[in-house]
Amino acid sequence: MGMVKALTKSESVRSALCWLGAQYIRLVFATGRWQVVGGELPASLWNQGKPFILAFWHGRILMMPYCWRRSVPIHMLISQHRDGQIIARTVSHFGIRTVSGSSSKGGSAALRGLLKALKGGQCVGITPDGPRGPRMRASDGIVQVARLSGAPIIPCSFSARRRKVMPSWDRFVLALPFSSGAFVWGRPIEVPPDASSDALEAARAAVEAGLNAITDEADRLMGLEPVEPAPLAAEGAGR
């Protein structure tokens, strides 16, 4: 583990890893047979040029570049941690821009960056359980962004029939080449600008429930047992 950390401190090694990661994602998509469920929902907003907030779990980040219409700009919220920056550089190979920050570090600057993108007519992507969990439990940051920007939240998830579920906190799903897969989109979630604390909590719960429902659906479409969220007792841990 110490050797891995030492290697990733090297700029040349990080660049190579990010390039290889992007090539792997391309390989998985190119050799797979992919279906899209609910794709008319984001397409309607893309066609109208209306910005929205893409929500997806941290453990399902791998194939998210391919859920997106390439011609539509998007800014993804990425943690300032070294691992987050590796993700940022990997997705940059797909034309995805990033905003650095999280609920624990750089939060104010990240919020300003996200709101600037949304108010400029561009979409943003947020993992509401990132960067440290608990797994598949939404924090309230995403609904605050929706409240302040007026943009709807649209959840999306993916699964692949051939995969490895890693023993990480987020149960990261590593899709394998030569498989079948599915992207599943959920219904939009709106947050009024004058939402009360109860309404914000209801919206947060709706994001969590909606994301878990479509993630379960994606797994079941592939004939797999769903990955379970972290127990409710763990909610708030690590934040």
Q: What's the structural domain count of the chain?
A: 1
CB contact at 8 A, 134 and 238: yes
Q: Is residue 239 part of a domain?
A: no
pLDDT over 80 (residue 167): yes
Calculate what percentage of the chain has a pLDDT beyond 70. 90
Rounded mean pLDDT, 113-117: 95
Q: What is the mean pLDDT of residues 71-96?
A: 87
**Rounded mean pLDDT, 57-72:** 96
Give the CATH number for residue 165. 3.40.1130.10
Domain carrying residue 85: 2-227
* Residues 218-231 pLDDT 10s: 999 999 999 999 99
In a domain, 233, yes or no: no
In a domain, 31, yes or no: yes
Mean pLDDT along residues 31-60: 97
Helix (H, G, I), strand (E, B) or coil at 55: strand
pLDDT of residue 107: 73
Task: Look over the chain and give the mean of its residue pLDDT values, rounded to a whole number.
Answer: 90
Q: 19: number of CA atoms within 13 Å, CB side? A: 6
**Span 183-203, mean pLDDT?**
97
- What's residue 12's pLDDT? 81
Which DSSP state fits 120? Answer: T
Cis amide prior to 131 (ω within 30 degrees)? yes
Helical H runs in the chain?
A: 2-8, 11-30, 40-48, 82-91, 107-119, 141-149, 197-221
Q: How far is 79 from 16, CA to CA, in rounded Å?
A: 20
Is 48 part of a structural domain of the chain? yes
Question: Is residue 119, in this structure, part of any structural domain at all?
Answer: yes
Let me know if residue 236 belongs to a domain: no
Let me know if residue 235 belongs to a domain: no
Report if residue 232 sits inside a domain: no
Under 8 Å between Cβ of 165 and 225? no
Q: What is the pLDDT of residues 208-219, one digit of tens each?
A: 999 999 999 999
